[in-house]
């Protein structure tokens, strides 16, 4: 085959919670497909963000944050899905923060399949007060594992991300594209609507709702360019219901209207969004309930 053959393949984005995996995926794909938040642990699903250039189609798998601190059913499922995601991708992008290499990173090294190319992405280089520390840091992490490449960048500022794409593309197999060039994600709008609403909830509720909250889209109807979305916000304690709703319903109203604005931008049309709060006890500890909510 000639050097100009098209390449297409999958890339898993892994790393400790909060290192910037979602920010990076969004930056690379150029659209908001994966939610971000200052709170750790907001990504619970595998999400494929897809980028198609003249030479390559990159299919990104944004895995959940690797969790070691809380060992409930939800985290067992999340760690399992990290391992599953790694088993069937072409390239692993292991994201760390500039200047930080700790036990969490070492633990992730143990998950890495030995037959996969692993590119180490050093994110948040904009945060390094002393830039001269970068080279010694690269040198020290390069001794931790046989990384195919080490790429320093800032996902938030967009510095170095073009270089990452060019480098990662070289490791994808020669193949025609799997998806239409216009696809930004293979997730349904229904799923994306739930993600956008969940992001607003996380942002507005702060520390009050650690894991006991999720979103179920009960109905998703399309009438021409209008989408009617009926979303239940599921909490695991009665007490949380009032917190989500807020005084006089103000908080839920603000959350819903922010989520609706994002949905309209992403879907490119009017959205009518109805939200309400439902109590389902102990769901984070019940694998069966999790499966019924779409986590596998």
Ligand X SMILES: Nc1nc2c(ncn2[C@@H]2O[C@H](COP(=O)(O)OP(=O)(O)OP(=O)(O)O)[C@@H](O)[C@H]2O)c(=O)[nH]1
Residues that bind ligand X (CB under 6 A): 15, 17-23, 36-38, 40-43, 65, 123-124, 126-127, 154-156
We find the least distance from the C-beta atom of residue 176 to ligand X, in angstroms, to be 30
> Which helix (H) or strand (E) segment is 151 a member of?
strand 149-152
Residue closer to ligand X by CB (options 21, 260) is 21
Asked if 198 and 276 touch (Cβ cutoff 8 Å), the reply is: no
Distance in Å, CB of 180 to ligand X, minimum: 26
At residue 193's C-alpha, the angle toward residues 190 and 197, to 5°, is 145
* Known binding positions for GTP: 15-22, 62-66, 123-126
Helix (H) or strand (E) holding 273, with range, is strand 271-279
| Alpha carbon distance 250, 88 (integer Å) | 45
Shortest gap between Cβ of 144 and ligand X (angstroms)? Answer: 19
Query: Is 9 or 104 the residue whose CB approaches ligand X more closely?
Result: 104
**Are residues 285 and 72 in contact, defined by beta-carbon separation less than 8 angstroms?**
yes
| Distances 196 to 37, 144, 192, 216, 271 between C-alpha atoms, Å | 11, 37, 6, 12, 13
Nearest to ligand X of 123, 185 (CB atom): 123
- Nearest approach, Cβ of residue 242 and ligand X (Å): 27
CB of 115 to ligand X, least distance (A): 25
Nearer to ligand X, 25 or 57 (CB): 25
**How far is residue 182 CA from its own chain's centroid?**
20
Which residues are CB-neighbours of 3 under 8 A, at least 6 positions away? Answer: none
Query: Which residue in the shown chain puts its C-beta closest to ligand X?
Result: 65
Binding residues: 15-22, 62-66, 123-126
Q: How far is the CB of 208 from ligand X (least distance, A)?
A: 17
Q: Closest CB to ligand X among 1 and 129? A: 129
Residue closer to ligand X, measured from CB, 187 or 241: 187
How far apart are the C-alpha atoms of 182 and 199, rounded to whole Å? 25
DSSP character for 36? Answer: -
Other Cβ atoms closer than 10 A to 154 = 21
């Amino acid at each position: 085959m000639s050097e100009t053959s098209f390449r297409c393949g999958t890339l898993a984005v892994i790393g400790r919670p909060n290192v910037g995996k979602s920010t990076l995926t969004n930056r690379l794909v150029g659209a908001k497909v994966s939610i971000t938040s200052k709170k750790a642990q907001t990504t619970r699903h595998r999400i494929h963000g897809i980028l198609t250039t003249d030479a390559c189609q990159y299919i990104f798998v944004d895995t959940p944050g690797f969790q070691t601190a809380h060992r409930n059913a939800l985290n067992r499922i999340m760690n399992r899905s990290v391992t599953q995601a790694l088993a069937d991708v072409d390239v692993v992008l292991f994201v760390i923060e500039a200047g930080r290499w700790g036990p969490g990173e070492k633990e992730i090294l143990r998950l890495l399949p030995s037959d996969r190319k692993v590119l180490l992405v050093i994110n948040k280089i904009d945060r390094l007060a002393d830039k001269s520390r970068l080279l010694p840091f690269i040198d020290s992490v390069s001794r931790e594992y046989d990384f195919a490449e080490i790429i320093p960048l800032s996902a938030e500022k967009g510095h170095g991300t073009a270089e990452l794409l060019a480098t990662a593309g070289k490791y994808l197999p020669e193949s025609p594209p799997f998806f239409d060039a216009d696809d930004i994600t293979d997730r349904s709008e229904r799923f994306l609507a739930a993600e956008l609403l969940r992001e607003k909830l996380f942002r507005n509720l702060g520390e009050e709702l650690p894991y006991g909250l999720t979103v179920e889209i009960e109905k998703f109807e399309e009438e021409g360019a209008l989408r009617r979305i009926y979303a239940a916000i599921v909490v695991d304690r009665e007490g949380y219901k009032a917190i989500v709703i807020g005084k006089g319903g103000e908080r839920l109203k603000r959350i819903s209207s922010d989520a609706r604005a994002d949905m309209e931008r992403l879907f490119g049309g009017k959205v009518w969004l109805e939200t309400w709060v439902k109590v389902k006890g102990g769901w984070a500890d019940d694998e069966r309930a999790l499966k019924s909510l779409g986590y596998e």
